[in-house]
Amino acid sequence: VDREERPDIDDVYMTACQLSGGRSCGWPLNVFAMPDGRPVWAGTYFPKKDWMNILNTFADKQKTSPQELEQYASQLTQGIQTSELIPKREGAFDFTPEKLDGIYEKYISTIDFKEGGRKGAPKFPMPNNYDFLLRYYYKTKNTRAFEAVDLTLTKLAMGGIYDQIGGGFARYSTDGMWKVPHFEKMLYDNGQLISLYAQAYSFTKNPMYKDVIEQSLTFVERELLDKSGGFYSSLDADSDGEEGKYYVWTKNEIDSILGDEQLAKIFDDYYEVKKRGNWEKGQNILYRRTGDKDFAGKFDLTEAALKTKLKKASDKLLAARENRVHPGLDDKILTAWNALMLKGYVDAYKALDNEKYREMALTNAKFITTKAMDKDFRLNRNFKDGKSSINAFLDDYALTIQAFTALYEITFDEQWLKTADGLAAYAIQHFYDKENGFFNYTSDVDPALIARKQELSDNVIPGSNSSMARALFTLGTYLYKPDYIQMAGQMLHSVEPNIVENENPTFF
């Protein structure tokens, strides 16, 4: 099962793993289940010998005491069905600025004010968290909040997690300095980060942020754009059997390709390239430690002249890199991830006023409405080889509503608000749980799993309920629909105690 195509299955059985032993749970996830799908036990990776022993243990258990397996399955299923459920909270709406300040204080205490991001390693970009800090800064003018965003975005852009010559971000950094990435590139990360850099650029006019936006969108169009107007999901970390091989260099390779001793010296110094390598096996990951102004002075160059020389070198190396074995491409097209990328193009257009970005946003929106949406506003989750095979989930609806509402903001074409409204109405009809006021992750028209889960907290992708709340609030404001606004407010009201009282900052 592809967990990106079926996150509903992943969520149910990952919860089973977490409840059935407390061990570290990840992927690949292996589940022992009854014929009706109720899990008995789950775990991640097992060496061959352990795997055979586990299989024999369960086979023996089925023969000698099947009632125990039935009991395990019933207890585990009950735990899955009740996990993470939040009841509907009655009473008046009482979310105050002081409570927001408390949430901010808890989160800001986790920030690494030396290297950006959260303290420790590995480091994930988590752009939705910095979107919160940016909005908090806009509301309160708390400069510490903006410093956290500005530092993190600067360190990300200078780090090895960012493809310095090709644009685009890898999924996470294995170290605490953003230097050594897990080289996989995900569409959802890049869409969100482009949005975040665009919003930050609107505040700062930082030219580095503009470069990141432009280079990352160039990467997306070069590597992830399908002729249909949809965007592919990801590029693997590996190529030719080695992680990162496509992206790393020896000093001799760089110097030979550039063929200009002075240009090579500038490039090597700028990107911390060493004769012995700055990573494994004499290889170099390109990353930066010095700002352009200070570095240009070291070589008696203007910043503009430095930028020209670096572009010349980067273009040569990028052309040479194209001749390498490319990372594997996951060419499935997922609606929710495309909506994040569509929103990235909208935000880039708002920040940079580049008409091409507006046209790309419209092209992708047309893809979603013609290839991923039916006339009754039912969405499909996936698209590959000209067809879709899976009904959409709540994040597909919530993020597409947000993207289409944002598209209206740069086109003033009301068809996008009307389409967003149709999607919202469909989601309310088929996903909304009237009892607790939240949305189920799966539709009521789909075959039921052992539990209908509700996604209530953010991960690398914003949580589908918080995304839906934001979507309904914005759409309700534009369309003068107080029921949408009330629904969003009730969701916040119900989840508020969990946000305010949680000692570990969690976004909902």
Average pLDDT over residues 331-348: 98
| Helix residue ranges per DSSP H, 83-206 | 97-108, 127-140, 143-158, 187-204
Higher pLDDT, 58 or 185: 185
**pLDDT value for 22:** 54
| High-pLDDT (> 90) share of the chain, % | 76
Percent of the chain with pLDDT over 70: 98
d(CA 298, CA 273): 16
The pLDDT confidence band at residue 128, using thresholds 50, 70 and 90, is: very high
Mean pLDDT, range 424-439, rounded to an integer: 97
Higher-pLDDT residue of 419 and 60 is: 419
Which phi and psi angles does 490 have, rounded to 5°? -65, -40
Q: Work out the pLDDT band at 223, boundaries 50, 70, 90.
A: very high
- pLDDT class of 85 with cuts at 50, 70, 90: confident
pLDDT for 508: 60
Question: The pTM is what?
Answer: 0.94
The tens digit of pLDDT for each residue in 371-420 reads: 999 999 999 999 998 989 899 999 999 999 999 999 999 999 999 999 99
Q: If you average pLDDT over residues 449-457, what whole number do you get?
A: 86
Using the predicted structure, report yes or no on whether residue 134 has a pLDDT greater than 90.
yes
Helix (H, G, I), strand (E, B) or coil at 205: coil
The pLDDT score that the predictor gives to residue 1 is 83
Residue corresponding to tokens 């390109």: 286
Average pLDDT over residues 274-297: 95
**Residue 165 and residue 345: Cα distance in Å, rounded?**
21
Whether 505 shows a pLDDT value over 70: the answer reads no
Both structure tokens of 217: 């969108």
Domains of the chain: 7-82 (no CATH), 97-241+329-501 (1.50.10.10), 247-321 (no CATH)
When the pLDDT of each residue in the chain is averaged and rounded to a whole number, the result is 94
**Other Cβ atoms closer than 10 A to 48:** 7
Residue 297 confidence (pLDDT): 93
Per-residue pLDDT for 152 more than 90?
yes
Contact 200, 209 (CB under 8 A): yes
Task: Determine the pLDDT at residue 12.
Answer: 85
Q: What is the pLDDT of residue 502?
A: 80
Residue 99, pLDDT > 80, answer yes
Name the range with the highest mean pLDDT among 39-43, 45-49, 357-361, 456-460: 357-361
pLDDT greater than 60 at residue 21: yes
pLDDT at residue number 506: 64
∠ CA 201-205-208, rounded to 5°: 75
Residue range 210-225: mean pLDDT, rounded: 98
What pLDDT is recorded for position 507?
Answer: 59
pLDDT value of residue 11: 84
Q: What are phi and psi of 467, to 5 degrees?
A: -65, -40
Residues 19 and 39 sit within 8 Å (Cβ to Cβ): no
Q: Count Cα neighbours of 213 within 13 Å in the Cβ-side half-sphere.
A: 28
* pLDDT of amino acid 377: 98
Whether the ω angle into residue 447 lies within 30 degrees of 0, i.e. cis, is no
Least confident interval from 30-44, 126-140, 179-193, 198-212 = 30-44
pLDDT for the residue numbered 415: 98
Overall average pLDDT of the 315-327 stretch: 98
